Chain A
Amino acid sequence: MTDNNENILRDCQLASLGKMLAGYSHELKNHLAIINESAGLMGDLLEMGIIDDEQAIQRFKKIISVIEERINQANTMAKHMNSFAHKMDIPDSNFDVNQLLNEELAFLDRFFWIKNVSVQKKLQSELPAVCNNPSLLQFVIFTYIHKIVAGIESGGEIALSSQMQGQNILISIDAPNLSALTIDQDSCSPDAAAIKYALNKMGIAIMEETLADGRHKTTLTIPTR
């Protein structure tokens, strides 16, 4: 492990953080814009005295339900951001792999949507907690899937799964014909180097294979103890 590797890892992790927060904050702004317009419309209707009949009351109820729905979505996003931020606080801690993966998908949702990528999720329930570096693992998975989404054809499909095998938890990412480690056609890709370095640092093995149907499968093996 060299200082150079540490610097590469740090740079890529920060870049990944920036992408996450950029996409997420954009979505938050969209929700807030709709809340703002809905509340503004209620104000307009009140100010213009258009609330003296049952039809208007029903209209108000509909507007209020839109506001409540969007506030709930914004709250969920804020919760994910908060959870993410706290993972940065303590490098090594006990965490739930499935919760981490669900958060990851929430962070990536906008990128999936932009490329019209569908995601199949199959997470085994009641997995034991893992003691490792959740922030670093989140960085690895985010960077890996983000690179795949960037390289994938519009309308492609990604499958994400977790399962227990012996004393390990396996996380599998199944994508069409793509490996994030070689996607740049450049073995010196800083992202690929950072992913490998981070996995090594966490003691997580990575296995890549091409499936019979030509799809590419990447499996991370995370020791539970």
Chain B
Amino acid sequence: MEKIKLLIVDDEEEFAATLAERLELRGFISKGVSCGNNALEALASNFSPDVVLLDLKMPDMNGFEVLIEIKEKYPSIEVIMLTGHGAATGGKDSKERGAFDFIMKPVDIIELTDKIKSAYQKKESNPGKH
């Protein structure tokens, strides 16, 4: 099976870097960026991820704005939202805006990897999308 490529977007750089390293150890190809604009730049470059892990609260563009732009420009990429909020409302709103799913911080790595694999399967089952 081809390695799943991930883009992790979180303004807490240590979080993004550490999570990327943990996912690399589990066989994923991961790249971390610290804001929405950097994420869109990464997507416009040669790095084309299968799944984006996207923080909801960020200072430049919030997660919803980035999510909407990703789904408009790259509809085949699946997005999993990361939220630090106790309530699940942010996650529910994300799904209504096109996110595959959401996960609460602190992250359960097994739950996260399961969701990434499910998101990748969904992407692969929709080959018509570009």
Contact = CB atoms under 8 A, between A and B. Distances in A.
Contact of B18 (A34, A48, A113): A34
A30 B18 contact: no
Interface residues of A, number: 20
Nearest to B58: A114
Interface residues of B, number: 17
A37 interface: yes
Interface in A114-167: 114, 116
Contact of B105 (A33, A113, A114): A33
Interface in A45-82: 45, 48, 66
Contacts of A114: 59
A206 interface: no
A26 B85 contact: yes
Interface in A200-215: none
A187 interface: no
B93 to A, nearest CB: 16
Interface in A10-26: 25-26
A35 B19 CA distance: 11
A185 to B, nearest CB: 26
Nearest to A32: B106
Contact of A33 (B12, B22, B25, B59): B12
Contacts of B18: 34, 37-38, 40-41, 66
A128 to B, nearest CB: 39
A156 to B, nearest CB: 15
A29 B59 contact: no
A105 to B, nearest CB: 18
B19 to A, nearest CB: 5
A30 B105 contact: yes
A33 B57 contact: no
Nearest to A29: B84
A84 to B, nearest CB: 19
B65 to A, nearest CB: 14
A34 B15 CA distance: 5
Given A30-B12, A30-B105, A66-B14, A37 B86 contact: no
Interface of A: 25-26, 29-30, 32-38, 40-41, 44-45, 48, 66, 113-114, 116
Those 6 A-B pairs whose CB atoms lie nearest each other, nearest first:
A36-B106, A33-B105, A29-B84, A37-B18, A33-B106, A34-B15
